[in-house]
């Protein structure tokens, strides 16, 4: 089946079975920042942006992304101004991501900052409750998000 979509700002057509997961297809296309973790949509390792919202790609059939916008971490890191704010915030909090779970943490932080420019603790806790924190503890992760939001706010004021 031919699936047209906008992948990392490129209009492409992928050949896949309708019930193949987005994760499977992206890995086949050599997007290796999308990791297979629990394969149940809980861990966050396979997170991508679908129409600018973080989703677990292991739970999304490729047929549902027809004509949609999908963004992987590879592209986000190079092309999104929010990434520098997130990276600075995580560094300020003392976070060192392992590389396996970074997509879930980075994309969730991005969504939090876009949704709540001045996030409250309850907003953050609710947004991250499903993510595994294998390389950092929750308190450090929450602090990283708060720092990232502050860096983003500062950058936006300068613009």
Q: What is the 3-state secondary structure (H, E, C) of 114-140?
A: HHCCCCCHHHHHHHHCCCCCCCCCHHH
Burial of 103 (0-12, 13-18, 19+ CB in 10 A): buried
For each of the chain's 159 residues, which pLDDT tens digit applies?
999 999 999 999 999 999 999 999 999 999 998 998 878 877 889 999 999 999 999 999 999 999 999 999 999 999 999 999 999 999 999 998 888 889 999 999 999 999 998 999 999 999 998 887 678 899 999 999 999 999 998 888 876
Q: Cα(151)–Cα(155) distance, rounded to whole angstroms? A: 6
Dig out the tokens for 102 from the structure: 């970074």
pLDDT at 95: 94
What is the pTM (predicted TM-score) of this model? 0.93
Dig out the tokens for 87 from the structure: 């990276």
């Amino acid at each position: 089946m031919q699936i047209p979509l906008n992948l990392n700002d490129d209009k492409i057509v992928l050949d896949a079975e309708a019930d193949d997961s987005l994760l499977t297809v992206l890995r086949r296309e050599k997007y290796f920042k999308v990791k297979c973790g629990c394969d149940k949509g809980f861990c966050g390792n396979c997170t991508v942006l679908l129409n600018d919202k973080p989703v677990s790609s292991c739970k999304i059939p490729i047929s549902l992304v027809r004509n949609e916008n999908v963004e992987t971490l590879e592209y986000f890191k190079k092309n999104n101004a929010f990434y520098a704010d997130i990276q600075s915030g995580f560094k300020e909090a003392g976070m060192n991501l392992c590389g396996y779970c970074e997509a879930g943490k980075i994309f969730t932080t991005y969504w939090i900052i876009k949704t709540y420019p001045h996030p409250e603790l309850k907003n953050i806790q609710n947004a991250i409750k499903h993510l595994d924190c294998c390389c950092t503890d929750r308190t450090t992760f929450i602090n990283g998000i708060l720092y990232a939001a502050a860096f983003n706010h500062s950058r936006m004021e300068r613009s």
